[in-house]
Amino acid sequence: MIPAKICGITRLADALAAAELGATAVGFVFYARSPRCIEVAEAARIGEKLLPHIARVGVFVNPDLQTLISTAKNAGLTHIQLHGEEEVALCQASPLPVIKAVRSPVEFDAYKNVSMAAFLIDSKTQDQFGGTGQLSDWNFSRQVKAHAPAILAGGLSSSNIAQALATAQPDAVDLSSSVELAPGIKDHHKLRDFFAALRQIEIAERQSSKIF
């Protein structure tokens, strides 16, 4: 099953449900203007309850280096996701592996020759850097894969994930608003439906590859 990150976690129950259903990563938003923003101490508390193999990704928008260093340590993060318009130097100085969000080929050009753990293909509006629920450019994902692993985000759900995977061919997926009751409050029914859809895709792919 393709790796999946559930982002915008603010509650322990949601993190545990996501992990139990098959999520390989959870995301904590440390951006004050986001309705999904979480305190560092609470992110640490939630992270401590998860099994070690679950990645704990901190999401930042245009932070300074000291904020990255202190938050990574105090929240017990494993990865840093930069979701704003960060300088290349900040990406390179990060204390943890970086996932850099990009929304277009023009934006990607500034980072494509920088070593990243992955690029996250997302959408944004004038007021929001992510978590908009709007679809990203699925074809753009295939361009990014030539440089680093691609994580597809932006409006993914159980109803469109099969088409998204077939078109974008990402290495992982990332969901937030599409599996929520309200910002930061995950809908466990939607989570179950999504991971069930991923399993059905996996089963279909195995069956189609069989010769006998």
For the stretch 201-212, pLDDT in tens is 998 888 877 776
Instruction: Using pLDDT thresholds of 50, 70 and 90, give the confidence band for residue 95.
Output: very high
pLDDT of residue 199: 95
CB 41 within 8 A of CB 19: no
pLDDT of residue 206: 82
Instruction: Using pLDDT thresholds of 50, 70 and 90, give the confidence band for residue 137.
Output: confident
CA distances from 64 to 17, 31, 89, 128, 192 (A): 32, 12, 11, 19, 37
For the stretch 19-50, pLDDT in tens is 999 999 999 999 999 999 999 999 999 999 99
For the stretch 145-182, pLDDT in tens is 888 999 999 989 999 999 999 999 999 999 999 999 99
Q: Which residues are catalytic?
A: 7, 122
pLDDT of residue 207: 80
Average per-residue pLDDT in the chain?
Answer: 92
Long-range contacts at 132-139 (CB < 8 A, ≥ 24 apart): 132/177, 133/177, 133/178, 135/160, 136/103, 137/103, 137/104, 138/164, 138/167, 138/168, 139/167, 139/168
> Tokens 């904590």 label which residue?
28
> Tokens 């989570």 label which residue?
191
CA-angle at 39, arms to 16 and 157, nearest 5°: 45
